[in-house]
Amino acid sequence: MSKKLTVVNMNKCIGCFTCMIVCAANHQKSHSFAKSAIKIRTSGGISGRFICQVCRACDEECSCASACSSGALLPRKGGGVTLIADKCIGCKECINACIVNAIFFDTVANKPIICKHCGLCARFCPHQCLEYRRTE
């Protein structure tokens, strides 16, 4: 069985951005929010609720993988995609195709930043806003 990241209760989110820092540090060896595959932002101004932008691991045909002309995005068992960086040409078509706006772009590497569904962000979330769940 595979696992995927699930957003469970953003009402508890305090905007500490721990999930973003852990993701960027672990996968991109950076402490920049821009290098994270998960983004936390407000729904509107300083009094708005927090929203989580992250790959929802589409189960059916992934629009991002279908849009990738170089074959750099492979559907992952259990949902979502795996990026084959060597095949990526940096065209950004996957970003335009993502239906939940959860693919970000690394302008230095000229590659997309896509959640790997490793669960690290969920493990470090102090308020359990995220869960790493088994898929069927």
Question: What confidence score (pLDDT) does residue 1 get?
Answer: 63
User: Cα separation of 131 and 118, whole Å?
Assistant: 11
Domain containing 13 equals 1-54+115-136
**127 within domain boundaries:** yes
**22 within domain boundaries:** yes
**81 within domain boundaries:** no
Question: What confidence score (pLDDT) does residue 44 get?
Answer: 83
Question: What confidence score (pLDDT) does residue 47 get?
Answer: 77
How is residue 102 written in tokens?
Answer: 């959860």
CATH number for the domain including 39?
A: 3.30.70.20
Q: Give, for all 136 residues of the chain, the pLDDT tens digit.
A: 688 999 999 999 999 999 999 999 999 999 999 999 999 999 887 778 999 999 999 977 899 999 999 999 999 988 899 999 999 999 999 999 999 999 999 999 999 999 999 999 999 999 999 999 987 6
Number of domains in the chain: 1
Question: What confidence score (pLDDT) does residue 55 get?
Answer: 96
**34 within domain boundaries:** yes
**H helical segments located in 72-133:** 93-97, 120-124
**131 within domain boundaries:** yes
User: Cα separation of 74 and 46, whole Å?
Assistant: 38
Q: 83 phi and psi, to 5 degrees?
A: -90, 125
**39 within domain boundaries:** yes
Question: What confidence score (pLDDT) does residue 36 get?
Answer: 98
**7 within domain boundaries:** yes
Query: Which DSSP letter does residue 34 get?
Result: G
